[in-house]
């Protein structure tokens, strides 16, 4: 774990004052370029102090909107410091990934999938409540234009190893992206909350209460819900070596889409998901671009240099196949 610094101590002192209690122990839990999380132990219990860069520093407001407007299963925030872009939340339990890495339990993932998609469907009724909190709108009507803005940042892309030829190839294929977005929108599945990195590591569980809480919500967007669900499936294959033929994978996939099938029908959902998968790397590239823009660029590119470029190359390969099939 990283050591505490004077900058850390400043926000810890604020948290102690806001909680009106002494901090018995403070431990840095997470400290990449885009997020700082400090575990605070007090005599009254455990809290977590989180700080993010200014450009993605509205997580507390987003969480409160999700809780108050949609009754969403999100952290209970007890103090917010807008000037320092940090907030304190109550302890909600243990990372689900920690549990699953010890003993994989597909039923646990299915419960999380059901809860998350119910939250998505609630937010879909009034996404404006989050758009008013400056949550980006990456809905199908806006996604292609946002992607074009990314391709326009030549200096950043070349710094991440993307060649001029690769950039031009992607620009030439943007009509395909426009067409895919139009096709996906035509299925009529409403845009809603998309947690770009929705996975078991961004959910914690209070095992005594059997209660799941969704965390790490500062980078959410309003877009097509299946981008989050696709990411979850990809994380299952990455971290637990599942394949789409495995019984657990099939069970999890069914749980992810069950609530949408109930509302839209199986044929619509299956066709929409196949279409959404073709656009997944667009969403992923924009998420990476947003982080680079929000954080100290040199630091994040040192940590994740080449990630954006690789995502764009994967997208180019996907679009090549789409283009040749038409």
pLDDT digits (tens, 9 = 90+) for 62-121: 999 999 999 999 999 999 999 999 999 999 999 999 999 999 999 999 999 999 999 999
Mean pLDDT for 242-258 is: 98
Proportion of the chain above pLDDT 90, given as a percent: 88
Q: Is the confidence at residue 324, as pLDDT, over 60?
A: no
User: Domains (ranges, CATH) in the chain?
Assistant: 6-90 (3.30.200.20), 94-325 (3.90.1200.10)
Distance CA 30, CA 90 (A): 16
Q: Is the confidence at residue 6, as pLDDT, over 80?
A: no
* Whole-number pLDDT of residue 303: 78
Q: Is the confidence at residue 323, as pLDDT, over 80?
A: no
* Whole-number pLDDT of residue 42: 95
* Whole-number pLDDT of residue 2: 62
Q: Is the confidence at residue 296, as pLDDT, over 60?
A: yes
Mean pLDDT for 297-320 is: 88
pLDDT per position as a tens digit, 46-60 = 999 999 999 899 999
* Whole-number pLDDT of residue 326: 45
pLDDT per position as a tens digit, 146-181 = 999 999 999 999 989 999 999 999 999 999 999 999
Q: Is the confidence at residue 299, as pLDDT, over 90?
A: no
* Whole-number pLDDT of residue 325: 47
Q: Is the confidence at residue 301, as pLDDT, over 60?
A: yes
pLDDT per position as a tens digit, 9-31 = 999 999 999 999 999 999 999 88
* Whole-number pLDDT of residue 73: 98
pLDDT per position as a tens digit, 274-283 = 999 999 999 9
User: 82 vs 302, which has greater pLDDT?
Assistant: 82
């Amino acid at each position: 774990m990283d050591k505490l610094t004077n900058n850390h101590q400043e926000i810890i002192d604020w948290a102690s004052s806001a909680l009106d209690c002494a901090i018995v122990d403070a431990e840095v839990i997470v400290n990449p370029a885009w997020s700082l999380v400090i575990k605070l132990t007090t005599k009254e219990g455990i809290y977590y102090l989180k700080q993010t860069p200014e450009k993605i520093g509205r997580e507390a407001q987003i969480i409160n909107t999700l809780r108050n407007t949609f009754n969403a299963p999100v952290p209970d925030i007890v103090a917010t410091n807008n000037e320092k872009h940090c907030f304190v939340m109550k302890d909600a339990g243990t990372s689900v990934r920690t549990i699953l890495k010890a003993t994989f339990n597909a039923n646990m993932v299915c419960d999380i999938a059901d809860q998350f998609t119910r939250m998505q469907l609630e937010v879909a009724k009034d996404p404006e409540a989050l758009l008013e909190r400056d949550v980006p709108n990456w809905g199908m009507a806006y996604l292609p234009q946002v992607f074009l803005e990314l391709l326009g940042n030549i200096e950043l892309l070349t710094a991440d190893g993307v060649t001029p030829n690769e950039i031009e190839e992607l620009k030439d294929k943007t009509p395909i992206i426009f067409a895919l977005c139009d096709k996906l929108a035509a299925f009529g599945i409403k845009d809603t909350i998309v947690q770009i990195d929705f996975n078991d590591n961004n959910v914690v569980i209070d095992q005594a209460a059997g209660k799941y809480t969704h965390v790490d919500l500062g980078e959410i967007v309003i877009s097509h819900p299946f981008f989050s669900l696709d990411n979850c499936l990809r994380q299952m294959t990455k971290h637990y070596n599942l394949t789409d033929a495995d019984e657990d994978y099939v069970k999890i996939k069914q749980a992810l889409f069950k609530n949408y099938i109930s509302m839209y029908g199986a044929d619509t959902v299956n066709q929409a998901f196949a279409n959404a998968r073709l656009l997944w790397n667009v969403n992923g590239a924009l998420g990476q671009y947003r982080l680079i823009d929000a954080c100290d660029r040199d630091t994040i590119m040192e940590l994740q240099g080449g990630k954006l470029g690789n995502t764009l190359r994967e997208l180019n390969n996907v679009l090549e196949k789409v283009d040749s099939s038409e």
